[in-house]
């Protein structure tokens, strides 16, 4: 786990996964250009998973603010290890990704 003041935390883009409650509209999805979006229909209500690289701490806060500004309920934010993301296939795109 990284320290808050770790200078290497964002020495290169970091892969993150954001989970929000509900399904994003086409307009809402457009705000996350460059990120992978998928919907988990197995939960009630459905959850949208937003995955992708975040360049720095300011970009991370910007994404969280965007989620808030869209009126979405943020359920979780998770930093994903590159190795773990590669093993899960997330870096190449998830076979379960759906158009939202």
Q: What's the rounded Cα separation, in Å, for the pair 86 and 70? A: 30
70-84 residue pLDDT tens: 999 999 999 998 776
Which pLDDT score is estimated for 11?
81
- What pTM does this model have? 0.75
Q: Is the pLDDT reported for residue 2 higher than 70?
A: no
DSSP secondary structure string for all residues of the chain: ---TT-TTTTSS-EEEEEEEES---HHHHHTTTTSEEEEETTSSS-EEEEEEEE-SHHHHHHHHHHHHHTT--EEEEEE--HHHHHHHTTTT--TT----
Domains and CATH numbers, the chain: 14-88 (3.30.70)
29-63 residue pLDDT tens: 899 999 999 999 999 999 999 999 999 999 999 99
């Amino acid at each position: 786990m990284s320290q808050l003041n770790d200078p290497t935390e964002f020495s290169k883009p970091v892969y993150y996964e954001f989970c929000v409650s509900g399904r994003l509209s086409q307009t809402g999805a457009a705000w996350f250009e460059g990120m992978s979006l998928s919907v988990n229909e197995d939960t009630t209500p459905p959850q949208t998973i937003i995955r992708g690289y975040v360049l720095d701490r300011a970009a991370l806060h910007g994404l969280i603010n965007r989620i808030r500004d869209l009126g979405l309920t943020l359920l979780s934010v998770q930093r994903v290890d590159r190795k773990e993301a590669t093993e899960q296939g997330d870096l190449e795109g998830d076979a379960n990704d759906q158009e939202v």
